[in-house]
Amino acid sequence: MPTTLYPAKSMNPELRTTAALGKFHAAAQAQPNIALVKYWGKRDVVLNLPTTGSISITLDSLWTRTEVRFVPGQAHDRVSLNGRSDAAETKRVVACLDLLRQRAAVDWGAEVDSRNNFPTAAGLASSASGFAALVRAGAQALDLGLDETELSMLARRCSGSATRSIFGGYVEWTRGRLADGSDSVALPLLPADAWPLRVAVAVTSIAAKQIGSSEGMRHTAQSSPFQASWVATQPADLTTARNAILARDFDALALVSEHSCLKMHALALAAQPGLLYWNGATVECMHCVRTLRRQGVPVFFTIDAGPQLKAVCAPSAIGQVKAALREIPGVLHVLDSGLGAGACVIAIGALEA
């Protein structure tokens, strides 16, 4: 597949409007997001509906770029992720393509080529950016004419956290009440440039995680004694975080984000057997961030289902935060990102058939 399809400046917002070169073939870019109020638990496994709402920030300098070409008459899908083919990932991609094909009422096979500019095993929600980019590109290739809310709903079916990467900046994913999931969608809370915080990611292991998030969520809901209080206390955390974001209140956002992160891990730790996603360096990084904050540095941490620590800070603090995290034994490297845009179409190719 032609990699030259990608324009050099993929983040140029004008590219959003340069569509209309052809059909069935498009490329899109999406960025990972990091939850500040965590999603951990599904109320419907098939529709991927969350037990609680969540709030996240979308990053900018880390991305997935995905090219999708539907080929009329082709029976099978061919999927390449970072230049390789992986059976488990291909299965998830094909399930996502099936949803797109169902919408378009076609049965064409597709060629999918997807690349990340960050290590897939770095615990950086590559499934969020991956499926947001896939849905964005696939919907464009089939000319489905979906708005961002509908795209977020489709992305949710493929990977829960992908629903939030459809939007940029600060994003809320609502739990929804309806059984069909039509009210469980992502909503933009604040654009990235309205409060341009930065994120340093301390990578403490590149080993693939042992228990994926879906399995971890199921196991936790079945066996953790804290499940009911996790669900009961989430609405208050969402309100606090939403208000802190709208008021650009860093200290309030720091407190509720660390609280939600630690509460999610306490919930998982209390499962039987307990899920321990941290290593020693993760814990040292948490102490480091807390020490910096006590010294007046505007920074807080959050950690997902893996050992990497994400330190969210004011732009003025990023140098100091990165330098401090790099000093910690066991930190392999520190990535750095600002907040960015939602998934966008970056190119549309002509139909070759």
Q: Which residues bind ligand PMV (CB under 6 A)?
A: 35, 38-40, 54, 125, 127-128, 159-161, 213-214, 304-305
DSSP for 255-269, please give it.
HHHHHHHHHHHHHHH
Residues 213, 160: Cα–Cα separation, whole Å: 10
Nearer to ligand PMV, 305 or 321 (CB): 305
What are 333's strand-pairing partners? 203
Nearer to ligand PMV, 38 or 322 (CB): 38
Residues 149, 154: Cα–Cα separation, whole Å: 9
Sequence-ordered list of residues with C-beta below 8 angstroms from that of 2, at least 6 positions apart, any chain: 349
CB of 347 to ligand PMV, least distance (A): 26
Nearer to ligand PMV, 15 or 186 (CB): 186
Nearer to ligand PMV, 125 or 141 (CB): 125
Nearer to ligand PMV, 141 or 282 (CB): 282
CB of 171 to ligand PMV, least distance (A): 11
Do the beta carbons of residue 81 and residue 89 sit within 8 Å? yes
Place of tokens 């340093």: 200
CB of 286 to ligand PMV, least distance (A): 16
CB of 71 to ligand PMV, least distance (A): 29
DSSP for 177-227, please give it.
--TT-TT--EEEEE-GGGS--EEEEEE---SPPSS-HHHHHHHHHHH-TTH
Nearer to ligand PMV, 70 or 257 (CB): 257
Residues 213, 120: Cα–Cα separation, whole Å: 15
CB of 261 to ligand PMV, least distance (A): 9
Type of residue numbered 141: A
Phi, psi of 239 (to 5 degrees): -65, -45
Nearer to ligand PMV, 23 or 92 (CB): 92
CB of 25 to ligand PMV, least distance (A): 28
Do the beta carbons of residue 22 and residue 14 sit within 8 Å? no
CB of 161 to ligand PMV, least distance (A): 4
Nearer to ligand PMV, 42 or 322 (CB): 42
For 84, which DSSP code?
B
Helix (H, G, I), strand (E, B) or coil at 334: strand
| Cα atoms found within 13 Å of the Cα of residue 281, Cβ hemisphere only | 22
CB of 156 to ligand PMV, least distance (A): 9
CB of 109 to ligand PMV, least distance (A): 26
Nearer to ligand PMV, 24 or 237 (CB): 237
Cis ω before 273 (30° cut-off from 0): yes
| Other residues' Cβ atoms within 10 Å of the Cβ of residue 254 | 21
| Other residues' Cβ atoms within 10 Å of the Cβ of residue 280 | 12
